[in-house]
Structure 1
Amino acid sequence: MLRSVVLLRRGDGVLAHEDGGAVTCLAREDLAGFVAAREPDRPRWVWDDATRWYPGLLAAGVRVERCTDLRLCHAVLRRSAHVDQELLVGPDTEGWDALAPTTADEPALFALDDPADRLDPLAELVRQQSALAASPERGRLGLLLAAESAGALVAGELQHAGMPWRADVHDRLLSDLLGPRPVTGQRPAELERLLPEIRAAFGQPAMNPDSPTGLLASLQAAGLAVTDTRQWTLAELEHPGIEPLLRYKKLLRLMQANGWAWLDTWVRDGRFRPVFLPGGVVTGRWASQGGGALSAPVQLRPAAVADEGWRLVVADVAQLEPRVLAGMSRDTAMAEAARARDLYQGMVDSGAVETRTQAKLGILGAMYGGTRGESGAMLPRLTRRYPAAVGLVEQAARAGERGEVVSTLLGRGSPRPGPFGGGSDDDAAGRAADARRRAWGRFTRNFVVQGTGAEWASCWLADLRNRLWRLGDGRLTDRPHLAFFLHDEVVVHTPAELADEVVTAVRAAAAEAGRLLFGDFPVDFPLDVAVVASWADADAPADAVLEDEGPL
């Protein structure tokens, strides 16, 4: 039985290096048939980068079960503190360091002057295998590399299948909120209606809320002591113009991020097909390139409608990161609280705190470095009740402040900070250096938890995609398949008659992800699962925070 097949582009063809040294020369039009013929043997396909190979295979109706994505694995190993970096060094190492994924608008395979063609996948595979074999954490790192590569397959399949999306519903939702579609370059009717009200309230006839710089100047001219135009800054101000201004800016952001231009660009043939990038964030969380896939606004979710005779199975895990913290720290008291569907209420029931709000603020403060207000006030109590959990993030913060690399449970390493600077504690340079040091400690404190949460999610996706494949027949889109992913939430598009089996698969995959990461340690990952015709019909996560993150 084949164990692996390494694929290399050579000119206008492909070389396939199989176990035992056999090398097959293929014309590119024969690649899909070659892969399909060998896939029943369940080989691991090894390639430089899945974004350059997998879309073409999917377009030809070929789905693969396993792969090694050398680009993603290289990035993990190069940053891991558990790897001898000398074992990864070769003549093309800098090329692997710089290799980027292709985008939807670029030709995926046989592109002219593709930097990947200047790399040697065979040599890189040998280096990676040697580095992994020599690592004291090769078991955990091996799981991370497998999950990362599986994520590359999931991302390709998500883009290929797409999320069912009704353009007519999307257009109607925008019109209800903003008014009819405006002529290019003009404001929608609702923004035009709000503008005079805002200008009159602030006494600024030329006020332009579309410009952050101009808006800030107008607010300051109106006597408001503000230094930025963020939502939470403005929401604290007492002024009659704030309410219409906040509404204006929210609607403007909706139009800019998911308006008619977005609809024209990203929805084709009844599907929203964003470009997902596994490991696109330093913590290992996914990113997306275009389409704003990881910030899908609740107002537009009614446009995500299952096909006739199909359903959407929407599943999200409650309070993923606190549960991950309990598991990775092996804090038995916190794991006991996590047995409740609502971990924060479980903390209240155990007597750790009096209210759910205190529990939530305290744990988020521990994970994000909140030392002031009610969050900081809760920390001593949580430290006494959950010493292992709080101790783990505190240790990560102190390591970050020393400029050290911290690691997730499976071994993803944090980036190293730049120099903090120096000076005495009393001068400005010293205070600035200390502030940078503390800020980096807050980053590493959260890195270990968020990164391990991303690892749990990757294992969930990896197991789920294979379970879904076994539920049907035919091509990927003829069977239940993943249609969307949002950090700790998945959407599966499934024939209605298989919806119950998909629910079982989603739950089983979540349990398997917990077992893979935490063994027999008793930490639960309960899911909220809904079978719906529209994404909007699924209950929103209890702790979803849907707010703007940048300047208004």
Structure 2
Amino acid sequence: MTSPSSASVAVAADPVGPGGLLLRLRADGGPTGAPERAADLAAAVAQREERERPRWVWAATEDLYPRLLERLPRRLARCHDLKLVEALLLGHEERHGLPRSLGASWARLRGLPVPVDPSDSATDDQPVLFAADRQRLPPEADPLEAVVAVHADQQRRIGLAEHPERMRLLCAAESAGALAAAEMTYDGLPWSAAAHDELLTALLGPRPAGGARPKLLGELATQIQEELGAPVNPDSPAQLLPAFARVGVQVASTRSHVLREVEHPAAALLLRYKELSRIHSAHGWAWREQWAPAGRFRPEYVVGGVVSGRWATRGGGALQIPRSLRAAVVAEPGHRLVVADAGQLEPRVLAAMSGDAGLAAAAAGGDLYAALARTAFDGDRQRAKIGLLGAMYGQTTGEVRPLLDVLRRRFPDAMRLVESAARTGEAGGLVRSRLGRTSPAPSRERQDMSDGDARAWGRFTRNFVIQASAAEWALAMLASLRLRLAALGGAPRLVFFQHDEIVVHTPQEQAGAVEAAVTEAAGEASRLVFGPTQVLFPLETHVVQCYADAK
């Protein structure tokens, strides 16, 4: 395989049929030569990828790449996702919330009315090969011309960013994440129907017919009614609250954190009922038939779906697979799962971002909290952890206050970073991540914010700079890892990503090489995002047959 070239190629798919247009671009985004008409776009893309591995420039990866994947002999190395990059640039320019489709970007360039974005909810099956309607271009607009013009404008705006090279890296990582997301949906996470059935039966009883409650849920419902002395529906807070009151228990709601403080036996039964009911509704038999019907769970990832840059999903609950059901994730025969997660990621990000020498030294080894405890908290690891998490998440009262005083004395640069971000948020200002992702503005003008609102927004911006930068590290690691897996021949496949955890499904004989690739990707991500630093970002890896065995 050739090394990635510096070339970029703009792509526009035909609205109907398998064809499209391709056009080579200059470094500044301008066109070179005439467009190339491809009767078979997937074949043309595959040939170009084999010859030169360019950076593919298109309206939105999620609309085009999934429809190419089945036809590509190897995965694409790089792309520039105009929709995702537009969102990053609009945020950096303090224009959060504006439409970001190709049509919207084109309209802003031309001074035309800006169309609203299409819904990001899961789409129905479409009668055409490519979902061109999601680009929101006017009928008279040329799609390839729009791609080229918007890309060139984005290149110009990246150059105007506060730190252009960092923003360029962020745009590349976000776009690479979109490639990985489409590939993980296409490949799917191995899911054993037999193991899932066994787990559900043990938790809930046999599968009921006709949408009835499973046996154990029905038994719990009966016990709750007996303890409350009333025929209440355990799914109805409107019935439960007065029933609790009749037995002398006043509760403000039936939320789990409230029920945990209640000593009445009905509360414990209701907590168990709620836990099992969530499993039944969110990951039960009907869920498997919809989301994992052929032995693979294929969630639809939403790259940058959270303002901090973390991903979301459109249905399926991929980011909340209960630990009790992870035994259903089983590698295929002759394969293993390589599960890797970054421990203590956000505290390490704070150490690297702030440049605090003391905190960086604590983060240069294995257990950051233990090192912190030895340095500043008389060996008390729990106090060190509570204090540092309080500093990052804005807990500043009670038992945390004296711990923060210690942190301010011993780690002034780290504390200065988070407290400055908090003050900026309280004043209604915006903060940026390491690479330039920008926090949204408060929903109301500063003069309308109460003291409580201001403090709450300060807690948000305090954590935003850390959480968003951690998301960037994870994204850079993911982007690096997918290229390293491709270099192993393409058989190991990324099949799951969640904040700071990845799962690779690999032939058993390549598991060791995958572990090495994970370690190398973590190191490369650290260098790319933070530059030279003594802070370590270790990934704990496990080679397992079943996902549950990695925890």
1:73 to 79, 85, 91: 85
Distance of 1:93 and 1:131 partners within structure 2: 20
Pair 1:537-2:543 in alignment:
no
Instruction: Return 5+ residue gaps in structure 2 as ranges.
Output: 26-31, 99-104
Are the counterparts in 2 of residues 365 and 375 from structure 1 also a CA contact under 8 Å?
yes
**Deviation at residue 422 of structure 1 after TM alignment:** 5.4
* Alignment of structure 1 residues 121-270 onto 2, 5 Å: 121-203=147-229, 205-270=230-295
Q: 1:295 corresponds to which residue?
A: 320
Change (3 A) 1:213 1:450: farther
* Alignment of structure 1 residues 450-469 onto 2, 5 Å: 450-469=467-486
**Deviation at residue 16 of structure 1 after TM alignment:** 1.1
Pair 1:322-2:352 in alignment:
no
Pair 1:17-2:23 in alignment:
yes
1:523 to 513, 524, 535: 535
Pair 1:90-2:109 in alignment:
yes
**Deviation at residue 92 of structure 1 after TM alignment:** 7.3
Secondary structure of the corresponding residue to residue 114 of structure 1: helix
Distance of 1:15 and 1:403 partners within structure 2: 45
Q: Which amino acid aligns with 1:385?
A: R
Secondary structure of the corresponding residue to residue 20 of structure 2: strand
Q: 1:514 corresponds to which residue?
A: 526
Change (3 A) 1:104 1:468: farther
**Deviation at residue 372 of structure 1 after TM alignment:** 2.9
Distance of 2:116 and 2:355 partners within structure 1: 35
Change (3 A) 1:214 1:375: farther
RMSD of the alignment, in Å?
2.3
Query: Residue by residue, what CA displacement relative to the aligned partner does 1:65-96 show, whole Å, maximum 9, x if unpaired?
Result: 000000000000000158999x9941378758
**Deviation at residue 197 of structure 1 after TM alignment:** 1.8
Query: Residue by residue, what CA displacement relative to the aligned partner does 1:293-330 show, whole Å, maximum 9, x if unpaired?
Result: 11111111111111111100000010111111111111
Pair 1:285-2:297 in alignment:
no
Query: Residue by residue, what CA displacement relative to the aligned partner does 1:1-42 show, whole Å, maximum 9, x if unpaired?
Result: 670111113443412112422311223xx1111011110201
Pair 1:35-2:55 in alignment:
no
1:417 to 439, 442, 446: 442
Distance of 2:111 and 2:38 partners within structure 1: 25
* Alignment of structure 1 residues 348-363 onto 2, 5 Å: 348-352=373-377, 354-363=379-388
Are the counterparts in 2 of residues 313 and 494 from structure 1 also a CA contact under 8 Å?
yes
Secondary structure of the corresponding residue to residue 491 of structure 1: strand
2:503 to 484, 491, 494: 491
**Deviation at residue 392 of structure 1 after TM alignment:** 0.9
Secondary structure of the corresponding residue to residue 17 of structure 1: strand
Change (3 A) 1:94 1:536: farther
Q: Which amino acid aligns with 1:443?
A: F
Q: 2:101 corresponds to which residue?
A: none
Distance of 1:300 and 1:375 partners within structure 2: 36
2:70 to 24, 36, 59: 59
Q: Which amino acid aligns with 2:199?
A: L
Pair 1:5-2:15 in alignment:
no
Query: Residue by residue, what CA displacement relative to the aligned partner does 1:206-245 show, whole Å, maximum 9, x if unpaired?
Result: 2222123433343344433332322222112222222211
Q: Which amino acid aligns with 1:502?
A: V
Q: Which amino acid aligns with 2:12?
A: L
Query: Residue by residue, what CA displacement relative to the aligned partner does 1:414-433 show, whole Å, maximum 9, x if unpaired?
Result: 1111225758xxxxxxxx71
Query: Residue by residue, what CA displacement relative to the aligned partner does 1:29-67 show, whole Å, maximum 9, x if unpaired?
Result: x11110111102011100000011111111113421000
**Deviation at residue 339 of structure 1 after TM alignment:** 2.4
Q: 2:28 corresponds to which residue?
A: none
Distance of 1:78 and 1:233 partners within structure 2: 40
Choose 443-452 or 211-220, whichever is displaced more.
211-220
Q: 1:305 corresponds to which residue?
A: 330
Distance of 2:13 and 2:54 partners within structure 1: 19
Instruction: Return 5+ residue gaps in structure 1 as ranges.
Output: 424-431, 540-552
Q: 2:29 corresponds to which residue?
A: none
Change (3 A) 1:321 1:536: same
Query: Residue by residue, what CA displacement relative to the aligned partner does 1:348-375 show, whole Å, maximum 9, x if unpaired?
Result: 1223354222122212211111123323
Q: 1:46 corresponds to which residue?
A: 57
2:408 to 383, 407, 416: 383
- Percent same amino acid among aligned pairs? 47
Structure possessing the higher relative contact order (Cα contacts under 8 Å, 6 or more residues apart): 1
Q: Which amino acid aligns with 2:423?
A: R
Alignment: residue pair count: 522
Q: Which amino acid aligns with 1:98?
A: D
Choose 160-169 or 14-23, whichever is displaced more.
14-23
Q: 2:134 corresponds to which residue?
A: 114
* TM-score in terms of structure 1 length: 0.90
Distance of 2:335 and 2:461 partners within structure 1: 43
Are the counterparts in 2 of residues 275 and 288 from structure 1 also a CA contact under 8 Å?
yes
Q: 1:426 corresponds to which residue?
A: none
Distance of 1:382 and 1:163 partners within structure 2: 42
Secondary structure of the corresponding residue to residue 98 of structure 1: coil
